[in-house]
Amino acid sequence: MKLKITVLPGDGIGPEVIDQAVKVVDAVCRKKGHKPEYSHGLVGAAAIDESGDPYPEDTHRLCMESDAVLFGAIGHPRFDNDPKARVRPETGLLAMRKKLGLYANIRPIMTFPSLLHKSPLRKELVEGADFITIRELTGGIYFGRPQGRSEDGNTAYDTCVYHKYEIERICRLAFDFAMKRKKKLTMVDKANVLATSRLWRETVQQLSANYPEVEVEYMFVDNAAMQIIQWPKRFDVLVTENMFGDILTDEASVITGSLGLLPSASIGMHTSVFEPIHGSYPSAAGKNIANPLAAVLSAALMFEYAFNLQNEAWLIRQAVEASFLADIVTEDIDTMNPAKTSEVGDLLADWIDKSKI
């Protein structure tokens, strides 16, 4: 099968983790007889340096013309530390999500048996934890207008806006996921305070009539933040708005053991984007120390969601398990005897090449 993939490495550790993901995709394609066709584009600070635009039209065209996008991370301290910067790398990420219509970000949270002892949480709490967070990605406070500062600069405002159709489409997706899993859906909001949350809750209540088999629970975000850590096994499919999902999934990475392990799939109206949930981790950039597995596992999600190639996705996950068993892991997991980013990628590709599966 021909796989048309646009690769957007981005900034910071993006290029080095994406290099490993591409190594692994190539190995899977060799093994299974697929033909990957890559095109490369700029995004984030790298694109600002080149063209002044964090999501240039050329990059958007490449994304629209491909079957899937493999994305690294964006962000650079020179923008983070300059609140007055006119253009920002993050604007590029938000523009990409908006222009590709990526309204749903699917983030599986799972534990790896051979890493349980590395989790900062007690083994009995996290063992077997396995849930999916579905985060709304193109609405809410990150996109709402007006946004800005008063003329005297002493007041700033952001606006949280949700339209019913935006809530309906992502919640339908969440119900569909729930139907394929344990038929349990947790909707996280702040309906005791926020008008947008009340619209979310009302919409989910209406939709639930179409999914009588799905048990729906409603949870305030502050409570969810606590329960994700205290009792992660109680969750199966969790759906929430943009900012709550952003924060809760970083928190949930603690269950797995490292932010460097969590992949995601952003799906919507046009080409889907597969991206680690972490950022550009600027202090590690170019040092070959970042964990590439979030990017590699995002490539597994790409095989699964963009190409419907389940065995290929499974093969990648098996290779990742093998790297844990061989203790070839980066310093976020093993501080005593860490492997380099590229060594992990090499081991995974080599394991896939030699596998009899």
Report in angstroms how near the CB of residue 327 gets to ligand NAD at its nearest: 16
Q: Which is nearer to ligand NAD, 133 or 291 (CB)?
A: 291
Contacts of 224 (CB under 8 A, 6+ apart): 186, 188, 238, 240, 244, 248
Decide: is 278 part of the binding site for ligand NAD (CB under 6 A).
yes
Q: Which residue type does 244 have?
A: F
Q: Using the minimum distance from each CB to ligand NAD, give the nearer residue, 111 or 330.
A: 330
Question: In the set 75, 140, 268, 338, which binds ligand NAD (CB under 6 A)?
Answer: 75
Residue with tokens 């179409």: 210
In the region spanning residues 129 to 158, those forming contacts with ligand NAD, defined by CB under 6 A, are none
> How long a stretch of residues is the chain?
357
Contact status: 66 vs ligand NAD (CB under 6 A)? no
Q: Does 54 bind ligand NAD (CB under 6 A)?
A: no
Burial (CB count within 10 angstroms: exposed 0-12, middle 13-18, buried 19+), residue 351 = buried
Q: Is residue 291 a contact point for ligand NAD (CB under 6 A)?
A: yes
Site string for ligand NAD, 239-258 (x = CB under 6 A): -------------------x
Give catalytic residue positions.
142, 190, 222, 246, 250
Number of chain positions touching ligand NAD (CB under 6 A): 20
Binding residue for ligand NAD (CB under 6 A) from 139, 260, 268, 345?
A: 260
Which token pair is 93?
């990420």
3-class DSSP state for residue 266? Answer: strand
Taking alpha carbons only, the member of 39, 170, 149 closest to residue 106 is 170
- 127 exposed, middle or buried (CB, 10 Å; 0-12, 13-18, 19+)? middle
Contact present, 92 and 44 (Cβ < 8 Å): yes
Among 90, 127, 168, 251, binds ligand NAD (CB under 6 A): 90
Which chain residues interact with ligand NAD by CB under 6 A?
13, 17, 73-75, 80, 90, 93, 258-260, 278-282, 290-291, 294, 332
